[in-house]
Structure 1
Amino acid sequence: MPRGLRHKDSTEVSTTSIDVSHPTKIPAATATTVSATTASQLPAAPATDSTDTETSIDGDGATASLPVRLWDRAYNDLKQEERGLVDVYEKILSWQLQDGPGSAVPESQPNTIAQNNSDARRRQMIQLIHAGLDKTSREATVKESLGVAVNVVLLARNIISSAIQAMPQAALAWTGICLALEVLANPITATEANRKGVDYVVKRMDWYWSLSSNLLKNPPDHADELSGVRSELENRIVDLYKVLLSYQVKSVCSYYRNRGLVFLRDVIKLDNWDADLGAIRDAERCFRDDTEIYNAQQATSHLEQLVSHARNQEMQHMSEKDQQCLNHLRLTDPFDDKTRIERTKGGLLKDSYRWVLDNSDFQQWRNHPESRLLWIKGNPGKGKTMLLCGIINELDRDSSADACRRNVAYFFCQATDSRINNATAVLRGLVYLLVDRQPSLLPHVRSEYDRAGELLCKDGYTWDALSRIFTSILRDPNLRMTSLVIDALDECVTDLPQLLDLIAQKSSGSSRVKWIVSSRNWLEIEERLETAAEKARLSLELNAQSVANAVNAYIRHKVDELAQLKKYDPNTRDTVQGYLSSNANGTFLWVALVCQALADLKVQKWHTLEKLRSFPPGLDSLYARMIDYIRDSEDSDLCKHILAVATIVRRPVSLQELTSLVEMPGGISDDRESLGKIIELCGSFLTLRDQTVYFVHQSAQDFLLGKAAGQASKKASQVTFGWVFPSGTGSVDHDILSRSLHAMSTALRRDFVRVPDPDPLATVRYSCVYWVDHLCDSVPGTNTKRDDLLEDDEVVHTFLKTKYLYWLEALSLLRAMPEGVIAIRQLEDLLVRIRLTPL
């Protein structure tokens, strides 16, 4: 709760006679005319809507609608957080229910409010506000008239001061009068601010009451994936209700407090109604941002379902062989990758990408038939991936509105995941989405699949086969107008040149296909794309102001979340926002990492500013700061080993797999909560999503490998590499190999038949597929110590001699037999290389 809304004064309050003793007789919708200061009408307590689709059982046994349930949650939370304030309010209400005589509520007045009668609570509150406004209306009218006179005198202050400056005694007296008038003006303005504020707050409560029924009505079947976002939006409404209720409760206490005491409080501005209203508007802005994200995701989900329905009707006519072909083509679903990226980055904020929709380069690409390739380039952390997510959403809306004429296919490269960090995977993902969205294109895949079978997507000639398929699809006269989007070309670590050549060539071919690609500012990419005929560049550095504005919008959104979570007072909130804005340097990732650190449960509100200033500007400087923090922690050795393994593995590993690759402290290998906390210790480098360990960004892995981009930070990056890999990366490969062989020797056995539950392969899935890769990288040929691994009766020979068939069975269960064939070939090649290497 913002500091301005807090109140713990239980001072005596005066009373007036109002009839709230029979709440059930109060009309569902009434309005009370306020004084001249607040001419508009206040609505009555919102009536329960019996048509609401989502209900719960109210405390009095009745069925409660969604708005009722949210209101009750907010009131009960406020009662817990602001116990003193709400207790004073409920004593006032208790006194009124007894219709007690006298001018003040005694301190001994018991709280007799029935907490299980939530409908009465809501109606009683609005009646108390009406009665309190009526009670103080004469006082407000007098203050309003007095305020006019005071303002007239104060406006003439400069003129009068000039006229009497030659008369010292008069000037001194006039100064005293002006000071007195300014002090007198405080209670006048406070009363006006409160009455206007109450008018605003009660109307907004009525508005959000009605809005919640429509905004959060039961989603259709296709929106199940939005349930988490919907639940979070409910929490945001409850937070908003709390600040609105706090203002109303505080106002009621003010109306029934001794009027002389109220005057004194207003003189010193103890009750800062303007600040309270400002906090409410901040909460409303935060809620509007979250609502916009929810609505956008809901609309996207709905449109996707419409397109999916149309696709499903086509796919119902596909043969079993067609379905099998499509399943084998799918390695990862780019749609799932995009959804994961948006979710893990906290949702797609429209303000973070909407600027590009009006950018002249983007408009040229979108509107002119001859403009077919747009390259979006920028430095790490500038928001390229989320920018492309936003562009894809816009293109998807176009294609959903015209589902029979347009396609959108996309792919997100990620260097740390071997499934999506190579040219073949990019082409495979694009072909999969094109066929998935336009099943009539499947015969182009079947022509190759019928010859090669499953090996089409597994064997060494995959790139050539997929290139033929892709070219055939682009030449299909029935291909719809198509947009192809590839993010992070710089994270395509295998065969990037041939992918760039294909993009340059194909973007100059079909008039029905347009391309958008993104990457860092790499000369290699620029040179290869230079051969494309119709191309345009959109540099984020050349659009620095637009990016800065987008980052500032993102900062406001993240600070609103922090302020709600940590209950920042206005000064703390403004300081955090100011520091982030001054030091972000147009980098989304830097803001995200700092906000993540500030949101940590261990960071108390009063430590926020000290913690904030410990974060230097610049990504690499922040990484260096976090490495120092990790090195000084009690778990530095464990963190170092986890960072080393996460950097070297061929794909992100699950927590269970990690326990077989890194020696964990005793007793926590089966404790997911503790394992998750260990990953949190590496917070600015690693993140946990769906029980899988990922790097927060490619730049984090680059920093650990000593490849930081900036010259100023390269030394810190290289020092970090020396700490994480004191004996080089080959030593880590060797450790992973040794632990993999040990884990597989323990877990693999005969006749799994099917994977039982719990899955005995859960900890060794990664090891089964990739142990040979780590063997090859840990045996460079000149290192005779590691060459001994391949000698007779050493660990590799022993494993193959005793577990070879079990390993093949495990690969079959993991559907990774083609990878096993490749691994065996790698072993053969390695043995040949070792034998040919001179001693």
Structure 2
Amino acid sequence: MRCLKHLYVTDPRADKQRIQETKGGLLKGSYCWILKNDLFQRFRDDPQSRLLWIKGDPGKGKTMLLCGIIDELEKESAKRLSYFFCQATEAQLSSATGVLRGLIYHLILQQPSLISYVRAKYDIPEEKPFESINAWVSLTDIFMDMLNDPALEDVVLIVDALDECKTKNSELLDFIFKSPSRIKWIVSSRNHCPDIGHRLRNATQTAKLCLEDIESTISEAVDGYIRHKVDQLTREKNYDDKLRHAVQHYLMSHANGTFLWVALVCKELADPRVPRRHMLTKLASFPAGLNQLYERMMEHIINSDDADLCKQILAIASVVYSPVTLKELISLVESLEEFDQDELKEIIGSCGSFLTLQKGVIYFVHQSAKEYLLDKASNQIVPSGTAHQHHTIFSRSLLVMSRSLRRDMYDLHHPGTSIDDIRQPEPNPLASVRYSCLYWVDHLSAAISDRTSIPIDDLQDDGTAHQFLSKKYLYWLEALSLLGSIPKGVVAMTKLETLLKGSEGTLLLDFVRDARRFILAHGRVIGNAPLQAYASALTFSPRRSVTRRLFKGEEPSWIVAKPTIAEDSDACLETLEGHDGGVNWVVFSPDGQRLASASRDKTLKVWNATTGHCTATLEGHHGWVHSVVFSPDGQRLASASRDGTVKIWDAMTGQCLETLEGHGGGVNSVVFSPDGQRLASASHDGTVKIWNATTGKCLATLEGHHGWVHSVAFSPDGQRLASASRDGTVKIWNATTGHCTATLEGHGGEVHSVAFSPDGQRLASASRDGTVKIWNATTGHCTATLEGHHGWVHSVVFSPDGQRLVSALRDRTVKMWDVGTGHYQVTLEAHGGGVRSVVFSPDGQRLASASHDGTVKIWNATTGQ
């Protein structure tokens, strides 16, 4: 089923099997003590006990303990059990969205009827709820509905290594606390994780099991594990009783209740190169304590014949963004190209016991091993610094991609071949370059951010990045499609454009801007059919597109009569579609990463401003939503509706936190104060209300207008309010006392919008009379009237630097003006309906506009291209 395929991020069952194999198998004697533990029994049997938190230091056996609990609970056929193992070294396994996707996926495998909850979101194509990097809201909606299904009974959900969930960890805890009370959770984490500890310690119905508090029990379990491992060594190495006893005694006296320490030492003792006669000498070289053991392992590597190779491999493993395969490792380390896979496995085996190889993929044996290398041994493995290592990976990635990528990597031939019909060939020509295709820009970015200057050649015209993109860009897009990662390409091009900030006028920046526009325009088509990168994508690109000109030779020869396409790209970078009615308002988040839109379809939508994917749809209003605004910290949204209410939402979870009622008519506009403590709303009832944004209490009602109030704005210092009304005036108010300090008159029609300049010295107002007026915000004098609009002006906004002003018109256009001269600069045309709202991104590089045509458009605000 396609939606289940797209939901998939990992199969937790396979992860559990891999973990157990990596750790040498699950030994019942190492975990069976938990079944007799009073705290666990109360949690299991008491319906009021909702959450069991197991915590302990690294290497104490938390993960294997949870594996054992899973095995025991799975024996109870009536239970529905789902679990997830977080892993900090793997991006998809270290995010809250990954956790939910894994838990949902596993539950559906057990109870297929639950797929209906996934399909309800998936069947809204523009939502892309699982592919988006901001899919949290969609997934929480799906999972919460699923957990509330009365047919789903006796559910236990398990999340291991909560501290290794690096993205939205707090939101994941919120979800756990808000889930239905009949759902039981088991989570584990390390000690000394302040955020997790604070939240879980203060949670109700939570049982805490600290492994250090039951030291004798854990020591007994470790001793049992030691006896098991020594039995294995005795069989494999033919120990006599004396040697067996000596090894067992040393391990028991030095283990300090740490399973991982025992496992690492026994792995070293099992090495065939260690003769039995040297066993005690070898054993005595292992110090107690994990860090001390890691130090000893590092010393051994440095003194080995493969020291240089091992250090290169450890350096790669320490900085990659996801575990790499053997083939990918070879592509990233030039000196490994001469070795075959068997030799490479031997070299990895020489890397102490830091790494383990499972089904061709290289993993750290434990998160603490990676942390040791980066925190304590970085001088040995990355003597030139991590930035240099990132740059090395970037350079190698460009080299191997340049060698490997070509047109039609899978020999599909037909440009219409759907991605769903493609079978991966064997051998896979992308196997060695998969990692490079996905992460080359990330490594370049990391290299630059840690350096004092950009590498000389990499981001210059005709430099390494320019040469690669000029020759291989379309082949790279095809590869991303085959890898199911077109959104990764959008993010990469956006990141590359950001890295080039300050390089105006360079050929590379021009190309990157065009390349980003190209993937935004055609990414969905290419993602569905990889070879469309050369067919429709090129054919329907502007004739002067840099990408089209560079890859003109790739255009299909069988298209004889080519469509008439504009010479140049218009200024529109992207069109966001998904609303079922006109869009009344659009706003950027304070960090510029998200957009929120308000629509006549009674919903709000939140969008990823980079990829254009809709990440959430917020429902709850019973009338058109006229306005939406982010709080200054980006954590909340406020919306104003024709239904007469203002709603406050959690911008991360999409939950409605508060509904503010009190207006006697529809609410047209809402805005947060700069400190986020207050809200102001403007209404059909002719008033402006000021609210406490935390409690929802109405603090003041400002009266004085003789008609609907269309718009309200706080001054940058939060001391004043400006309101625009149907009565043709703009009023300025003292935001503390509520007194009207000035009434600005001069428009020949109702005033739809008002905005303060960033310095608070000026006001701009937009009117039905077809003009924009600029006012001195202190004296109230009109300093300029901007004419040239053909019809009503719905919205006006200053750029972040205050140098430009943009107006949104009923005639379907957006106009940009120079504030200093009052001269018109450019008209942006692309909407199919009147433009209701316009806003600058916080950096002033982009504009977003909302229209009656049901779309939001993102524009280049700097070049008009």
Name the TM tier (shorter chain). 0.5 to 0.7
Map 1:659-738 onto structure 2 (within 5 A): 659-665=330-336, 667-668=338-339, 671-706=340-375, 717=376, 720-738=377-395
2:66 maps to: 388
Deviation of the 1:425 alpha carbon: 0.5
Aligned to 1:735, the other structure's residue is in SS state helix
**Contact map agreement 1:372 1:515 (CA 8 A) in 2:** yes
Aligned to 1:543, the other structure's residue is in SS state helix
Q: 1:787 to 1:385 in 2, by over 3 A?
A: farther
Aligned CA-pair RMSD: 1.8
Write the distance in 2 (CA, Å) between the matches of 1:342 and 1:834.
51
Query: Which letter does structure 2 place at the counterpart of 1:547?
Result: I
Deviation of the 1:531 alpha carbon: 4.3
1:168 maps to: none
Write the distance in 1 (CA, Å) between the matches of 2:133 and 2:502.
20
Map 1:325-340 onto structure 2 (within 5 A): 325-340=3-18
In the alignment, is residue 515 of structure 1 matched against residue 172 of structure 2? no
Write the distance in 2 (CA, Å) between the matches of 1:504 and 1:765.
38
**Contact map agreement 2:330 2:337 (CA 8 A) in 1:** no
Write the distance in 2 (CA, Å) between the matches of 1:824 and 1:350.
50
- 1:765-815 CA-to-partner distances (Å, cap 9, x unmatched) read 111111121122112186323275222111111111110111111112222
1:484 maps to: 157
Deviation of the 1:595 alpha carbon: 0.5
Q: 1:665 to 1:530 in 2, by over 3 A?
A: closer
In the alignment, is residue 744 of structure 1 matched against residue 401 of structure 2? yes
1:439 maps to: 112
TM-score normalised by L of structure 1:
0.57
Deviation of the 1:561 alpha carbon: 0.4
1:759 maps to: 428
Write the distance in 1 (CA, Å) between the matches of 2:98 and 2:362.
21
**Contact map agreement 1:504 1:528 (CA 8 A) in 2:** no
- 1:595-632 CA-to-partner distances (Å, cap 9, x unmatched) read 10010010011111110101001110000011111111
Deviation of the 1:380 alpha carbon: 0.2
Q: 1:477 to 1:833 in 2, by over 3 A?
A: farther
Deviation of the 1:338 alpha carbon: 0.5
Number of residue pairs the alignment of both structures matches: 493
Query: Which letter does structure 1 place at the counterpart of 2:75?
Result: R
Query: Which letter does structure 2 place at the counterpart of 1:746?
Result: R
Query: Which letter does structure 1 place at the counterpart of 2:106?
Result: L
Map 1:181-200 onto structure 2 (within 5 A): none
Aligned to 1:517, the other structure's residue is in SS state strand
1:577 maps to: 248
Aligned to 1:498, the other structure's residue is in SS state helix
Write the distance in 1 (CA, Å) between the matches of 2:486 and 2:213.
48
2:214 maps to: 543
**Contact map agreement 1:765 1:814 (CA 8 A) in 2:** yes
Write the distance in 1 (CA, Å) between the matches of 2:25 and 2:215.
23
2:19 maps to: 341
Greater displacement, 591-600 / 474-483: 474-483
Write the distance in 2 (CA, Å) between the matches of 1:511 and 1:634.
58
Deviation of the 1:454 alpha carbon: 8.3
Residue of structure 2 aligned with 1:785, choices 451, 454, 458: 454
- 1:233-282 CA-to-partner distances (Å, cap 9, x unmatched) read xxxxxxxxxxxxxxxxxxxxxxxxxxxxxxxxxxxxxxxxxxxxxxxxxx
Query: Which letter does structure 2 place at the counterpart of 1:465?
Result: S
Write the distance in 2 (CA, Å) between the matches of 1:798 and 1:365.
61
Query: Which letter does structure 2 place at the counterpart of 1:535?
Result: T
Aligned to 2:57, the other structure's residue is in SS state coil
Write the distance in 2 (CA, Å) between the matches of 1:543 and 1:452.
52
Aligned to 1:541, the other structure's residue is in SS state helix
1:592 maps to: 263
Deviation of the 1:358 alpha carbon: 0.8
**Contact map agreement 2:4 2:105 (CA 8 A) in 1:** yes
Deviation of the 1:757 alpha carbon: 2.9
Deviation of the 1:409 alpha carbon: 0.5
Residue of structure 2 aligned with 1:462, choices 128, 131, 135: 135
**Contact map agreement 2:6 2:131 (CA 8 A) in 1:** no
Q: 1:834 to 1:429 in 2, by over 3 A?
A: farther
Residue of structure 2 aligned with 1:367, choices 15, 20, 45: 45
Write the distance in 2 (CA, Å) between the matches of 1:512 and 1:822.
40
- 1:512-534 CA-to-partner distances (Å, cap 9, x unmatched) read 21000000011221112234321
Write the distance in 1 (CA, Å) between the matches of 2:367 and 2:149.
37
Q: Which runs of 5+ in 2 are unaligned?
A: 412-423, 505-842, 845-865
- The runs of at least 4 consecutive aligned structure 1 residues that moved more than 6 Å come to 833-837
Q: 1:789 to 1:450 in 2, by over 3 A?
A: same
1:256 maps to: none
Deviation of the 1:635 alpha carbon: 2.1
Deviation of the 1:342 alpha carbon: 1.1
- 1:273-309 CA-to-partner distances (Å, cap 9, x unmatched) read xxxxxxxxxxxxxxxxxxxxxxxxxxxxxxxxxxxxx
Query: Which letter does structure 1 place at the counterpart of 2:427?
Result: P
Write the distance in 1 (CA, Å) between the matches of 2:374 and 2:195.
21
Q: 1:487 to 1:821 in 2, by over 3 A?
A: same
Aligned to 1:783, the other structure's residue is in SS state coil
**Contact map agreement 2:387 2:450 (CA 8 A) in 1:** no
TM-score normalised by L of structure 2:
0.56
Deviation of the 1:434 alpha carbon: 1.6
Q: 1:666 to 1:657 in 2, by over 3 A?
A: closer
Write the distance in 2 (CA, Å) between the matches of 1:833 and 1:640.
37
- 1:333-380 CA-to-partner distances (Å, cap 9, x unmatched) read 011100111122111110000001111111111000000001000000
Aligned to 1:357, the other structure's residue is in SS state helix
Residue of structure 1 aligned with 2:227, choices 542, 556, 559: 556
2:475 maps to: 806
Aligned to 1:785, the other structure's residue is in SS state coil
Aligned to 2:209, the other structure's residue is in SS state strand
Deviation of the 1:502 alpha carbon: 2.0
Write the distance in 1 (CA, Å) between the matches of 2:501 and 2:454.
18
Deviation of the 1:816 alpha carbon: 2.1
**Contact map agreement 1:503 1:529 (CA 8 A) in 2:** no
Greater percentage in strand: 2
Aligned to 1:687, the other structure's residue is in SS state strand
Write the distance in 2 (CA, Å) between the matches of 1:448 and 1:638.
48
Write the distance in 1 (CA, Å) between the matches of 2:374 and 2:169.
20
Q: 1:511 to 1:543 in 2, by over 3 A?
A: same
- 1:189-236 CA-to-partner distances (Å, cap 9, x unmatched) read xxxxxxxxxxxxxxxxxxxxxxxxxxxxxxxxxxxxxxxxxxxxxxxx
- 1:130-186 CA-to-partner distances (Å, cap 9, x unmatched) read xxxxxxxxxxxxxxxxxxxxxxxxxxxxxxxxxxxxxxxxxxxxxxxxxxxxxxxxx
Write the distance in 1 (CA, Å) between the matches of 2:13 and 2:484.
22
**Contact map agreement 2:298 2:352 (CA 8 A) in 1:** no
Write the distance in 2 (CA, Å) between the matches of 1:552 and 1:629.
27
1:608 maps to: 279
2:671 maps to: none
Write the distance in 2 (CA, Å) between the matches of 1:630 and 1:802.
41
Write the distance in 1 (CA, Å) between the matches of 2:489 and 2:109.
28
Write the distance in 1 (CA, Å) between the matches of 2:309 and 2:20.
30
Q: 1:393 to 1:582 in 2, by over 3 A?
A: same
Deviation of the 1:560 alpha carbon: 0.4
Write the distance in 1 (CA, Å) between the matches of 2:310 and 2:343.
13
Query: Which letter does structure 2 place at the counterpart of 1:338?
Result: K
1:831 maps to: 500
Query: Which letter does structure 1 place at the counterpart of 2:256?
Result: N
In the alignment, is residue 631 of structure 1 matched against residue 340 of structure 2? no
Larger RCO, structure (CA 8 Å, separation 6 or more): 1
Write the distance in 2 (CA, Å) between the matches of 1:606 and 1:360.
46
Query: Which letter does structure 2 place at the counterpart of 1:593?
Result: L
Deviation of the 1:832 alpha carbon: 3.6
**Contact map agreement 2:101 2:139 (CA 8 A) in 1:** yes
Write the distance in 2 (CA, Å) between the matches of 1:660 and 1:602.
30
